[in-house]
Amino acid sequence: MFARTLGATALALTLAGAASAQEQSILVQSTTSTANSGLYDYLLPIFQDKTGVQVNVVAVGTGQAIKNAENCDGDVLLVHAKPSEEKFVAAGFGTERTDLMYNDFVIVGPAADPAGVGGMSDVQGALSQIAEKGAMFASRADDSGTHKKEMALWADSSVDPTSASGGWYRETGSGMGATLNAGIGMGAYVMTDRATWISFANKQDYQIAVQGDEDMFNQYGVIPVNSEKCPSVNVDAARTFADWLVSDEGQEAIAGFKVADQQLFFPNAPGN
């Protein structure tokens, strides 16, 4: 655990050291949901004002973010696919993974609700019903954290939606916002993280159809990239950023981020 292991004194020294290096910068490989929701626009000025470390963000699907970090294109990884994150660390690409925050996934759909799943909290049952009725469903199909979770939920439902690819199951190969736009355009159900949905402007008549299942929990983790694999990593600045995110101050900042008076992410770093 980053900040919890270092302790408050060590964290303060790390932050103070970073503040004296005004020209430091790091690259964070991250998910689209954290960027598109506006979280970084809110968090980064707070961190940068405190430390002088400039943070640049590449926002892509989790699978691509992990590949980028494995190619040493980044100092910190912040994504939401825990099994893949653990493999990243086990392979030596990351120094340590720490839980950072969470929200949940939801399935949104048109007001007409052609599959009759509106109000359901059983996600496996809802997906089975969508498949049985052949109701349109739009998938990111991009190896993102959201796509990985969607496929795991289909598997738990004993449904292989890819057998209907091009029929009722449409694979966009795009990010969350583009997939929502495409799904709404074709009247399809879409699984999205709640933060993106709250921030999404083109809802039209769409509403949340399925929510509340514990299997739709969405955990985010933060991992500094290992300099033993990637010598170009800005070790001190990367550690400073990771430590700040899981510190009391960073966790309070995450909790304070709201859109339309709704909290989008819920901090849960160890010790909080």
Report how far residue 95's alpha carbon sits from residue 79's, in angstroms, rounded to the nearest whole number.
Answer: 15
- Give the pLDDT confidence score for residue 271 in this predicted structure: 79
- Give the pLDDT confidence score for residue 20 in this predicted structure: 45
Domain ranges of the chain: 2-102+219-267, 104-216
Contact 2, 97 (CB under 8 A): no
Report how far residue 2's alpha carbon sits from residue 244's, in angstroms, rounded to the nearest whole number.
Answer: 9
Asked if pLDDT for residue 254 goes beyond 70, the answer is yes
- Give the pLDDT confidence score for residue 33 in this predicted structure: 87
- Give the pLDDT confidence score for residue 9 in this predicted structure: 40
Q: What is the mean pLDDT of the chain?
A: 92
Asked if pLDDT for residue 128 goes beyond 90, the answer is yes
Between the alpha carbon of residue 259 and those of residues 99, 124, 136, 192, 218, the distances in Å are 23, 29, 29, 16, 18
Percent share of the chain, pLDDT over 90: 88
Fold of 104-216: D-Maltodextrin-Binding Protein; domain 2 (3.40.190)
- Give the pLDDT confidence score for residue 7 in this predicted structure: 45
pLDDT for 88-116, tens place per residue? 999 999 999 999 999 999 999 999 999 99
Give the CA dihedral 187, 189, 195, 197, nearest 10 degrees.
20
Fold of 2-102+219-267: D-Maltodextrin-Binding Protein; domain 2 (3.40.190)
pLDDT for 55-83, tens place per residue? 999 999 899 999 999 999 999 999 999 99
- Give the pLDDT confidence score for residue 12 in this predicted structure: 46
Report how far residue 29's alpha carbon sits from residue 85's, in angstroms, rounded to the nearest whole number.
Answer: 12
Q: Do domains 2-102+219-267 and 104-216 have the same CATH topology?
A: yes
Q: pLDDT tier at 23 (50, 70, 90 boundaries)?
A: low
Report how far residue 111's alpha carbon sits from residue 231's, in angstroms, rounded to the nearest whole number.
Answer: 52
More confident residue, 23 or 94: 94
pLDDT for 164-215, tens place per residue? 999 999 999 998 999 999 999 999 999 999 999 999 999 999 999 999 999 9
Mean pLDDT for the stretch of residues 143-151: 94
Report how far residue 193's alpha carbon sits from residue 173's, in angstroms, rounded to the nearest whole number.
Answer: 17
Q: pLDDT tier at 22 (50, 70, 90 boundaries)?
A: very low
pTM: 0.86
Residue 17: both structure tokens together: 């050291």
- Give the pLDDT confidence score for residue 67 in this predicted structure: 97
